Structure 1
Amino acid sequence: MPFARLATATTPTCHIGLGLAAIGRPGYINLGRDRDLGEDRAVETLRERTHELLDAAYAQGVRYFDVARSYGRSEEFLAGWLDRHPEIDDIVVGSKWGYTYTADWTTDAETHEVKDHSPGTYERQRAETNALLGDRLDLYQIHSVTPDSPALTDKDLHAKLAEAAAAGVTVGFSTSGPAQADAIRAALAVTVDGEPLFRTVQSTYNILETSAAPALAEAHDAGLTVIVKEGMANGRLADPHAPDALKTVAAETSLGTDAVALAFVLRQPWAGVVLSGAATTVQLASNLHAPAVDLDEGQLERLAALVEEPRVYWERRGQLPWH
């Protein structure tokens, strides 16, 4: 698997990846985007911002880059950056299918993305991804699997994914919602010709939402690479929105709340790659201090006390406005 490169890399930041959800489209639900991106959200403006972020991330040791069909032009932006740097051959590129971007490059669309896990959507989006990323794609994930997703039971889809795996693309899935653990365990049971279909899982895990941890540990023990998304809880764990207890711990470490929040995730023994969703190079630099944060047991206990009941967490996330 290409992820072995991450596990054996020598830079501490190799276990932090860069996700382009917040920068590949003009609207997203992260808090603070008005401040981060300003009013100019033109395609070329965000393309150059994305390339600056990718340059900075690569220079500082980041080797995993995460995009999706529904992240606006994120695949296109990443593909353009790769074209600028043909010498780069030591990164891992992951994308996702299953949501179609429908906001037409606006921030106030009634619907920003539409979910569909059918084989037809897979074939269409796989062709779209291939046209942009070609053989630079290492990982293709089903986007936001839930326990009731047809992707867990559709044998035709499983056969198509197995074909992609046989051709050299790692097949994985991501999860969302209060029943992430159930979705993970159901996906672990999916096999094709007696072999497990999925080799990676990408799930939400952060100080506020820890419910998927036991299932992610099981996935890790089963040999899957675990990728953690939303470690910053869509900006709720960043200044100025961070809870007071997190701000206090951050002050004790002399680092930002973002670095402490990501350090909390990095401490999990099953966490293979933890995504930064930085929208600026300053945010990225602060995020990349996470491997240097040394949290003691008392600090970890104070942070653990901030956990929310999953349904409360996901209801609040669902109420975040698109900025």
Structure 2
Amino acid sequence: MPFALPQARGSARPGGTPACHVGLGLAAVGRPGYITLRRDRDLPADRTVDALRARTHELLDAAYAQGVRYVDAARSYGRSEEFLADWLRARPDADDVVVGSKWGYTYTADWRTDAEKHEVKDHGLAAYERQRAETDALLGDRLDLYQIHSVTPDSPALTDRKLHAELAEAAARGVTVGFSTSGPAQADAVRAALAVTVDGAPLFRTVQSTYNALETSAGPALAEAHDAGLTVIVKEGVANGRLAGPGAPQALRDVARETGLGCDAVALALVLRRPWAGVVLSGAATVAQLASNLQAAAVDLDDERVARLDALAEDPHAYWAQRARLPWH
């Protein structure tokens, strides 16, 4: 069975075709440092815990009011799980929000933007057990989806049978088990994860991958995952800000001008058109950005415009090399 989300309000494509869901990712607001471009203008100058807690709650309030019903956090997103848990306790009316989080990276920046390392990756069983306990302490029974963070083809999480057994136990207790991918070999990682089984049954029910106008290499594998019954969650649809604002590619700016909407909305609309996409994440850091992102469902992309945007795709190795050079700020 695919991972199910409650039906979001106001989520129809032009012509009445049902849209995939738009979710809210908390990577940009759960910690003071991240790699999104122009973030220095998006967050309060004084990025205290209380300031980012308030910003996160403001975004969650706005997202919920506009029909967003999936929220995505992670252990490595600073205090995102804590901020989300606080908001859920304050909003008992939001019991229809589906909550996802991720384990596999530990946040190590100690609330600094100039840390030498912001997160450390560990896909071992001990890391899972530690981080699952930390997530449970914050989110408890509100956790719906728990994902392995940034699986690559060489990740031990793909071959550790003891880990698989514990993940299967979590699934048996009602938590959906998924994985996310990163890097130029995302397609290989997706296909390797699809082959993971426990007692003959597929382990994973969701996959979260980077896919956008610049990085399309995972597309065929994500279509295969969808056909296999997994819900596909798309992250980084605006490429950490490269597809938003004045620095966006000219072709994208041209289509945005023609449609009268923002580059970010057009970039997300391109992802919304993919028949395998189940959830597309907004990584907004401000309420205005969120509102602009949510206009993606209203963007009219005809075949000619799609072809112009499809021509923006980069070699995945070049894309990920450029992403690795983005500063934490």
Both structures adopt the same fold (TM-score exceeding 0.5): yes
C-alpha distance in 2 between matches for 1:126 and 1:248: 45
C-alpha distance in 1 between matches for 2:181 and 2:147: 10
Q: Is the 8 A contact 2:2 2:206 kept in 1?
A: no
Q: Is the 8 A contact 1:3 1:92 kept in 2?
A: no
- Which residue number corresponds to residue 16 of structure 2? none
Deviation at 1:3, TM superposition (A): 4.0
C-alpha distance in 2 between matches for 1:79 and 1:4: 21
C-alpha distance in 1 between matches for 2:310 and 2:32: 33
Q: In structure 2, list runs of 5 or more residues that go unmatched.
A: 13-19
Deviation at 1:240, TM superposition (A): 1.7
Q: Quick one: percent identity of the two aligned structures?
A: 78
What pairs up with 1:97-116 in 2 under 5 angstroms?
A: 97-116=103-122
CA RMSD of aligned residues (A): 1.1
Q: Are 1:195 and 2:201 an aligned pair?
A: yes
Deviation at 1:87, TM superposition (A): 2.3
Q: Are 1:317 and 2:316 an aligned pair?
A: no
What does the per-residue CA deviation read over 1:176-224, in whole Å, with 9 as the maximum and x for residues that have no partner? 0000000000000000000000000000000000000000000000000
- Which residue number corresponds to residue 276 of structure 1? 282
Runs of at least 4 residues of structure 1 off by over 2 A? Answer: 1-6, 8-11
Could you state the TM-score of these two structures normalised by the residue count of structure 1?
0.98
Letter in 2 for 1:108: D
- Which residue number corresponds to residue 10 of structure 2? 11
C-alpha distance in 2 between matches for 1:246 and 1:10: 27
Q: Secondary structure at the match of 2:150?
A: strand
C-alpha distance in 2 between matches for 1:12 and 1:77: 26
C-alpha distance in 1 between matches for 2:8 and 2:213: 27
What does the per-residue CA deviation read over 1:246-304, in whole Å, with 9 as the maximum and x for residues that have no partner? 00100000000000000000000000000000000000000000001110111111111
- Which residue number corresponds to residue 184 of structure 1? 190
Q: Is the 8 A contact 1:2 1:92 kept in 2?
A: no
- Which residue number corresponds to residue 74 of structure 1? 80
What does the per-residue CA deviation read over 1:42-91, in whole Å, with 9 as the maximum and x for residues that have no partner? 00000000000000000000000000000000000000000101222111
User: 267, 272, 291: which one pairs with 2:297?
Assistant: 291
- Which residue number corresponds to residue 32 of structure 1? 38
- Which residue number corresponds to residue 167 of structure 1? 173
C-alpha distance in 2 between matches for 1:241 and 1:234: 12
Deviation at 1:9, TM superposition (A): 3.9
C-alpha distance in 1 between matches for 2:152 and 2:31: 24
- Which residue number corresponds to residue 140 of structure 2? 134
Deviation at 1:305, TM superposition (A): 0.8
Q: Secondary structure at the match of 1:70?
A: coil
Q: Secondary structure at the match of 1:21?
A: coil
User: 245, 269, 273: which one pairs with 2:251?
Assistant: 245
Q: Is the 8 A contact 2:2 2:231 kept in 1?
A: no
- Which residue number corresponds to residue 232 of structure 2? 226
Q: Is the 8 A contact 1:145 1:173 kept in 2?
A: yes
C-alpha distance in 1 between matches for 2:33 and 2:224: 35
Deviation at 1:39, TM superposition (A): 1.6
What does the per-residue CA deviation read over 1:142-175, in whole Å, with 9 as the maximum and x for residues that have no partner? 0000000000000010001001000000000000
Letter in 2 for 1:200: T
User: 146, 150, 154: which one pairs with 2:156?
Assistant: 150
Q: Secondary structure at the match of 2:93?
A: coil
Deviation at 1:2, TM superposition (A): 8.6
- Which residue number corresponds to residue 96 of structure 1? 102
Change (3 A) 1:10 1:56: closer
Deviation at 1:4, TM superposition (A): 2.4
Deviation at 1:5, TM superposition (A): 3.1
Letter in 1 for 2:328: W
C-alpha distance in 1 between matches for 2:301 and 2:71: 27
Give the aligned length: 322
Q: Is the 8 A contact 2:149 2:180 kept in 1?
A: yes
- Which residue number corresponds to residue 17 of structure 2? none
